Amino acid sequence: MATELVLRIPESELADRRRALLERLASEGCDGVVLFGPTAILYLTGFSFIPTERPIGVAFTSDRLLALVPSLEREHVRATSGIQEVVEYEEYPGTEPPLAQLARAIRHQLGLGREPIATDADGYPSRYGYRGPRLSELLSNRQVPCSEVVEDMRLRKSAQELALLRESSRWADATHRHLQELVEDGRNENEVSIQASLRGSQEMVRALGPSFDPHAGVMLPATAGFRSQIGANAAFPHAINRNLVMRRGDVLVTGATSLVWGYRSELERTMFLGQPTAEQRRWFELMLGAQDTALEAMRPGRRCADVDRAVRGYFERHGIQQAWRHHVGHGLGMEVHEAPFLDIGDDRVLEPGMVLSVEPGVYVPGLGGFRHSDTVAITEDGIELMTRFPRDLASLICG
């Protein structure tokens, strides 16, 4: 049976975000905004697309909203967002730079003559071979950078954003259960990951019903796997897929997520194929203690840097500084990594509505890596653990 949750950001909230951005930029005299970043466009308009060499941009004022798109996005932009004014070009490169058409629309449709405009980039960024004029070559308006302003707006999630991230966490947990069930001596990691991701996605789609929308350019809405963090290779925090076979005695570092209207959670666990050795148990418990330390340090009013300092202090007390490789965690929402960062260099205050990964790991060359990651929201009086997959050693032994 389909869920009663409304798993999307309503147009009213998107419009509120655009108004809030214009209010923040009012002191700079900006009456309009031009965006090229896919995440910023999704956050402010609800339009999700696959970036290619074909320029896509959005421009808006307090009462007008338009998009520049290639003809292949004509129906898509209207079907997946509240954007009704569309400036369409045939194809890139074409006979005229697409941004020249956007510049004309900014002048004539939005009526932005010489007023300052806020932009997240001076034109469409270079990707997949795109080369084109800068916006400053086509418009004489003073540009006011706004990418950091939009990023700051995204730091604290609304009630609806939190609901989407809870739902994403729920299906990350479910897909990870399938992954653990499929772990077996001699199995190829990619076969296990594909089967688990398929099972989790099928379960998710059936449960959420036909109105469910991942709102992202993905083949499967839920995924889980290893990315070759298997055995000694798990000592590489950001290992890449090497198509490994898992063997009894291996430590396995996993990763799972799901997409719900463009929002994604993060779940990682350290598992063992067979009973772990005494040395593996020792490092697992040290890792778990580091994550507990981070979770205990996270409260509204404390700083991101304080959490990282607490974990670094834990490493020092246990004499395992050599096993440290990275900060405690990062923000979550629409991107795999986003601000803020649980790092000694980030003095931002933790506030209710912020959502972060908590993932201090320990890495031992020749033995493996040990890392749990959970999606954690800051609440009014503490934290909410959104991902709920078991963290204890006994629950994470496979086969």
pLDDT at residue number 3:
43
For residue 392, name the pLDDT band (cuts at 50, 70, 90). very high
Q: What one-character DSSP code corresponds to residue 380?
A: S
Domain with CATH 3.40.350.10 in the chain: 11-153
Q: What topology is assigned to 11-153 in CATH?
A: Creatine Amidinohydrolase; Chain A, domain 1 (3.40.350)
Q: Return the CATH superfamily for domain 156-398.
A: Creatinase/methionine aminopeptidase superfamily (3.90.230.10)
For residue 4, name the pLDDT band (cuts at 50, 70, 90). low
Task: Assess contact for 385 and 162: CB atoms under 8 A.
Answer: no
Task: Assess contact for 255 and 242: CB atoms under 8 A.
Answer: no
Residue 263 has pLDDT above 80, yes or no: yes
Structure confidence by residue, pLDDT tens digits, 74-113: 999 999 888 989 999 999 999 999 999 999 999 999 999 8
Structure confidence by residue, pLDDT tens digits, 273-293: 999 999 999 999 999 999 999
Mean pLDDT within 16-42? 96
Structure confidence by residue, pLDDT tens digits, 31-51: 999 999 999 999 999 999 999
Residue 262 has pLDDT above 60, yes or no: yes
Task: Assess contact for 175 and 234: CB atoms under 8 A.
Answer: no
Structure confidence by residue, pLDDT tens digits, 189-226: 999 999 999 999 999 999 999 999 999 999 999 999 99
Helix (H, G, I), strand (E, B) or coil at 192: helix
For residue 5, name the pLDDT band (cuts at 50, 70, 90). confident
The amino acid sitting at 339 is A
Among 265, 261, 353, which Cα is nearest to 6's? 261
Task: Assess contact for 223 and 257: CB atoms under 8 A.
Answer: yes
Verdict on whether the full-model pTM lies above 0.85: yes
pLDDT at residue number 222:
98
In sequence order, which residues have a C-beta less than 8 Å from that of residue 303 and are 6 or more positions away?
346, 347, 348, 349, 350
Query: What is the average pLDDT score of the chain?
Result: 96
pLDDT at residue number 147:
97
Residue 1 has pLDDT above 70, yes or no: no
Q: What one-character DSSP code corresponds to residue 257?
A: E
Strand ranges, E, within the chain: 32-35, 57-60, 65-70, 85-89, 117-119, 143-145, 222-225, 251-253, 255-260, 263-264, 270-273, 329-331, 338-342, 355-358, 362-364, 368-370, 374-378, 383-385, 397-398
Mean pLDDT within 141-153? 97
Mean pLDDT within 106-126? 94
For residue 6, name the pLDDT band (cuts at 50, 70, 90). confident
Structure confidence by residue, pLDDT tens digits, 304-320: 999 999 999 999 999 99
Domain with CATH 3.90.230.10 in the chain: 156-398
